[in-house]
Amino acid sequence: MVSEVVERKEFKAVADATLSDFFTRTPRDADSYCLRMTSGTTDGLPLFLVWDNRFTAHGLFAGADRVLMCTGSLAARLGNALLLRNGMGAEKARVLCADIQDMMPEFSALMDDFKPTELYGFSSFVRRAAAFCSPETGARVRALLFASEPVSPALQNVFESVFPNALLKLVYHTNETGALSRPPCGHLPLDSYHVLDGVDVAIDDPDETGAGDILVSKRISPNIVVEKYRIGDIGRIHHDPCPCGETSSLQLLGRRGYDYIRIAGTTLLQKEFERAAEALNDLFDDYRAEASSQVTDSAVVGAIVLRVHRKDGMWSEALAREIARRFSAELFLTQTKTLDDLVRAGAFSPLVVERASEPFQVKLKELKLTQRKD
């Protein structure tokens, strides 16, 4: 147990503790545990940790029947399939794990055959899968399940038209800590949650509106407690009675981007931005990047604005174009695809480069990569 704030890069010690705890204490009810692998740590290596489902599993899958799993990495898909089968109230559920590369016209026949009743995953990925749903298949879907990702009003409209009988259900959790919220009560806006029993949420250094970094304290196994973990999200606590009987809720305001931001089906790594910026150090001296996503008629499209500063003050339109061209070709947003590749595939809009005439303030809490909400 620690009494100070635990930063993301310090979470490895907690993850290692879950592993050694699992392997040194026997006997165990193996069905209650699963091994999780997270993405996007500061040193580029994934974290391995053992989840004790009694403390970490969220309730989103309870009662699920035929689930189409639309999550990014193979590890996440398999992890979620395991979770679903192990003590989540959906032991008999059938699961179809899809890959983003499966989203081709041929996928329609598979969807008609599988007849999903629930879709779970990234909203941008579910949006893509929706394009291959026939009206009959879409009408059979009972719920769309999302974890820790805002669903914009534009995307909600798309889902309502493709899946007219589906409820939107969101839960707040992270790969490090597991579930943080209760399943939705049905009375709160989609960006707000009731905190799970046994989880303590505090806001670090809130601004005048009450918004600030979310610090989470919770027990993640019988022997391991995480205290004041800076999870990387910004939020605000509201003290309003809810018709369901709860007296407070946590509103999620966005991701601060400590290590990574997930957007439009990709993972933007802070470290990769640093590497690409270093490769272009002949063109600019410092930068800040802001990522966002927009829903178009056919897909969720990511967008990145790169603000750059040159100490010598030199600037021209040609220079801005050169930075955009080289940065897009240099920056990898998936393991194999650059921003340039994704722009050509229509998944991202072309990089916008803006001049910052003043140097960026270097502050302790300054972050180079941030996410703007829709």
Least CB distance from residue 195 to Zn ion, whole Å? 11
Helix boundaries (H) for the chain:
11-24, 53-56, 74-85, 107-114, 123-130, 135-140, 153-162, 270-279, 317-330, 339-344
Could you tell me if 366 and 360 are in contact, meaning their C-beta atoms sit under 8 angstroms apart?
yes
Least CB distance from residue 167 to Zn ion, whole Å? 15
Q: Which is nearer to Zn ion, 187 or 321 (CB)?
A: 187
Q: Which is nearer to Zn ion, 171 or 264 (CB)?
A: 171
Q: Which residues contact 319 (CB under 8 A, 6 or more apart)?
A: 283
Rounded to whole angstroms, the Cα distance separating 290 from 132 reads: 31
Q: Which is nearer to Zn ion, 124 or 192 (CB)?
A: 192
Could you tell me if 22 and 48 are in contact, meaning their C-beta atoms sit under 8 angstroms apart?
no
Least CB distance from residue 179 to Zn ion, whole Å? 16
Least CB distance from residue 106 to Zn ion, whole Å? 42
Could you tell me if 128 and 72 are in contact, meaning their C-beta atoms sit under 8 angstroms apart?
no
Could you tell me if 105 and 129 are in contact, meaning their C-beta atoms sit under 8 angstroms apart?
no
Least CB distance from residue 236 to Zn ion, whole Å? 16
Q: Which is nearer to Zn ion, 135 or 245 (CB)?
A: 245
The site for Zn ion, by CB under 5 A, has a size of: 5
Q: Which is nearer to Zn ion, 193 or 258 (CB)?
A: 193
Preceding omega of 243 cis (within 30 degrees of 0)? no
Structure tokens at 20: 């050694």
Rounded to whole angstroms, the Cα distance separating 206 from 212 reads: 4
Q: Is 51 helix (H, G, I), strand (E, B) or coil?
A: strand
Least CB distance from residue 192 to Zn ion, whole Å? 9
Least CB distance from residue 182 to Zn ion, whole Å? 8
Could you tell me if 71 and 84 are in contact, meaning their C-beta atoms sit under 8 angstroms apart?
no
Number of alpha carbons in the 13 Å side-chain half-sphere of residue 16: 5
Q: What are phi and psi of 219, to 5 degrees?
A: -85, 125
Q: What are phi and psi of 57, to 5 degrees?
A: -70, 140
Q: Binding mask 170-189 vs Zn ion (x if CB under 5 A, - otherwise)?
A: ---------------x-x--
Least CB distance from residue 303 to Zn ion, whole Å? 34
Q: Which is nearer to Zn ion, 188 or 339 (CB)?
A: 188
Q: Which is nearer to Zn ion, 187 or 344 (CB)?
A: 187
Least CB distance from residue 238 to Zn ion, whole Å? 11
Rounded to whole angstroms, the Cα distance separating 226 from 18 reads: 11
- Altogether, the residues listed in the chain come to a count of 374
Interacting residues with Zn ion between 235 and 254 (CB under 5 A): 242, 244, 246
Q: Which is nearer to Zn ion, 79 or 183 (CB)?
A: 183
Rounded to whole angstroms, the Cα distance separating 189 from 169 reads: 11
From 365, 355, 372, select the one nearest 287 (Cα to Cα): 355
Structure tokens at 181: 């919220």
Q: Which is nearer to Zn ion, 225 or 242 (CB)?
A: 242
Should residue 190 be labelled a site residue for Zn ion when binding is judged by CB under 5 A?
no
- Give contact residues for Zn ion (rule: CB under 5 A): 185, 187, 242, 244, 246
